[in-house]
Structure 1
Amino acid sequence: MSSQGAYGYAVARIRAMEHRLLDSGVLQRMIDAEDFASILKILGETSYSSALTSQTNGSDFDKVLEADLHSIYEEIRTFVPDKAMVDIMRLQYDFHNVKVLLKSMFNVRTGGKKRWDLLTSLGSYPLDDLIMNVESEEYRLLPFGLNTLIPKCITIWEQSRDVLEVERLIDKRMFEVMLEKAHELDMPGIISWIRTRTDGENIRTLLRLKRFNYDASKALPFLHDGGTIDVSMLASLISEPFETWGRAIEFSDFGKIIGSIDASGGYSDLILSLERVLDDCYMEKIAAGRYSPSAPENIPAYLWAKEMEIKNIRVITVSKRNKGDKDHLRRLMRHGYV
């Protein structure tokens, strides 16, 4: 089967799976629900019904969502021609797990406890193997350049106790690997999307650092190469009002959307608004391939839509437990493509 024919089959499978995604009407009902039990009832009428069969309270709800997302990743991996395309989407969880294991190691060394409850099964590298290799210090067996990165991170922590620097190095390597894997696929649409995500993460990071009064020189090391926006130019914006950032990068995918954000509130609201529009921007960019019945971009588009669906469910449930405002909640919802 040709590559185009193979993706034609894969996209047809994705189209058949799209009916499982929640539409805006279901999300609206969840937002209007009175309590968590009502949310579970609504989800019980959807594709989540089988996963919720044994759900009696909210204690293991996150595990239900994780198991559902994991099953989607595994299912798509069985029929997609290039499994690396699915693995790229899962890299964020691999590197999350590395952070959790290292922080647990540091905690134990300072009299604390391991936090393995924060580990996730969603990574592309088997979680049990990752734990065993890190615990036994068999770093040479690890993928993604972790064989040299993890010892370096441990040395930095031993010398300075600088966990922020450890996180910076791990994040830097994650975006490097994402772009490396995209180039190995040699698909322009996937490469462009990863570069857009890199830009978006840099903008989000810059706003967070601005909140803590970083200057350009201190912010620059936290920005990742590989995007379309020069990191030095981007770092220089940290001293400028956020309202001007959109005009400064109007040549990019983010100029208009950043310019549309209401920056009159505090940093907390501003960061939440930015994260939402960035997620929607990623969705809009990768979903452009939906009109082609054989475009490989349909695979990450569906997976991103599923990721955003899970995020929306989590945002709604947290808001309900905290008795949050419904109008504010609606503004936090990510767009899907159903």
Structure 2
Amino acid sequence: MDNTIFAQSIARIRSLETKMIDKAKIEAMVESRDFNDCLRFLQDTQYGSYITASNYEEGLKSATIDIYKEMYKICPLREVVDILALRYDSHNIKSLIKGKLAGIDTLYLTVDAGTIPVDRLNIMVKEENFRDMPKTLRYYVEKAFENYKNSQDPQDIDITIDKGIYEYMLEIAESSKMEYLLDIVKLMIDTINIKSFIRINIQERGRDFMQKVLLPKGNLDKDLFLNNITDSLESFANKIMHTDYFKWVKEGLGEYIKKGDLGSIEKYGDNYIIDYLKKAKLVSFGPDPIIAYILARENEIRAIRIILTGKRNDVSPDIIRERLRDVYV
């Protein structure tokens, strides 16, 4: 593939990156006096028109949707954005299926940033007619209904849809012939599997449950997870010593042991991905900067949500700071 087709898109991305919130601004928000003071810090950012005191969550949702709208406009190949937009399809499908099965309206929980417009998706789920879905997604959505009817466990819906979404992401990445897309999907799969392994190990849920939730086709072999699920976490960390994941796993486990908070594992895994994305700053041609920008903006929105929620609930700056991920800029 001729990666120079991304040249104009990357020029636009470099301009957009200058509008992102840097570490100093994040720190100022964390140290702000209260919720309203924090809102004032956001007024001169690109979130100023989205955020209101009454409903900042809706504003952040709208900002997310607009990121994807803009990326679809500037990216020359739709599948580059689709790779990440599929995660919103996953969220939306899960929400709508659970709503249908419970007999409640869950449309308000959806985020219209996926590859399938929410209004169309809502009709598909209501009618249980998925013929217009891509084949892989259709198979797993129908399977999710079937699995729930057999088990009556809503978690089976999440597990089944997750497997389908990441399988479809891999299909798109492989057919695109863009190595970076395949790398980023496999990195996500490995990170999710490591997080799942640690949680299941701590909760002592065993090999069968690990097999059930394991996402296939990552870089790490499935037997690494299945054959070591009852071993110590230190032993597991040592077995991935020669991989790029060792450092964040070791540090995350260290903080978990010290504080007893599984959120440490999530945080260190997310920071690893952000650190990986920073390599895209050096790329002049290719899809890398587009993928990196989208994920960096999502990370930025999550940081704003954590800070505003903390300020609204009078959480101390130190605790808010602990919950934040690294920033991209």
TM-score (norm 1): 0.91
Verify: 1:310 aligned to 2:301, yes or no: yes
SS in 2 for 1:305: helix
Residue in structure 2 matched with residue 81 of structure 1 by the alignment: 76
SS in 1 for 2:227: helix
Give the conservation status (yes or no) of the 8 Å contact 1:244–1:259.
no
**AA matched with 1:334:** R
Residue in structure 1 matched with residue 58 of structure 2 by the alignment: 63
Residue in structure 1 matched with residue 22 of structure 2 by the alignment: 23
Task: Tell me, in whole angstroms, the C-alpha distance in 2 between the residues paired with 1:310 and 1:68.
Answer: 8
Task: Tell me, in whole angstroms, the C-alpha distance in 2 between the residues paired with 1:41 and 1:246.
Answer: 43
SS in 2 for 1:172: helix
* Change over 3 Å in CA distance of 1:133–1:240 after alignment to 2: same
Of residues 257, 271, 275, the one that matches 1:264 is 257
Deviations 1:16-47 (A, max 9, x none): 11111101111111101122111111100211
**AA matched with 1:237:** N
Identity across the alignment (%)? 27
Residue in structure 2 matched with residue 254 of structure 1 by the alignment: 245
Give the conservation status (yes or no) of the 8 Å contact 1:193–1:286.
no
Task: Tell me, in whole angstroms, the C-alpha distance in 2 between the residues paired with 1:291 and 1:150.
Answer: 39
Give the conservation status (yes or no) of the 8 Å contact 2:100–2:125.
no
* Change over 3 Å in CA distance of 1:217–1:147 after alignment to 2: closer
Shift of 1:145: 2.5
Deviations 1:134-172 (A, max 9, x none): 212221112353333333222222233122222211111
Give the conservation status (yes or no) of the 8 Å contact 1:290–1:298.
yes
Deviations 1:212-251 (A, max 9, x none): 3211233122111111111121233332232333211122
Residue in structure 2 matched with residue 174 of structure 1 by the alignment: 165
* Change over 3 Å in CA distance of 1:260–1:147 after alignment to 2: closer
Residue in structure 1 matched with residue 45 of structure 2 by the alignment: 46
Deviations 1:258-300 (A, max 9, x none): 1123232455x1x211111111211222331321211320110
Of residues 136, 140, 150, the one that matches 2:131 is 140
Shift of 1:97: 0.6
Task: Tell me, in whole angstroms, the C-alpha distance in 1 between the residues paired with 2:210 and 2:82.
Answer: 30
Q: Aligned Cα RMSD in Å?
A: 1.8
The 4+ residue runs of structure 1 with deviation greater than 6 A are none
Of residues 153, 173, 176, the one that matches 1:162 is 153
SS in 1 for 2:7: helix
Of residues 268, 284, 289, the one that matches 2:275 is 284
The runs of 5 or more residues in structure 2 that have no matched partner are none
TM-score (norm 2): 0.93
The runs of 5 or more residues in structure 1 that have no matched partner are none
**AA matched with 1:220:** Q
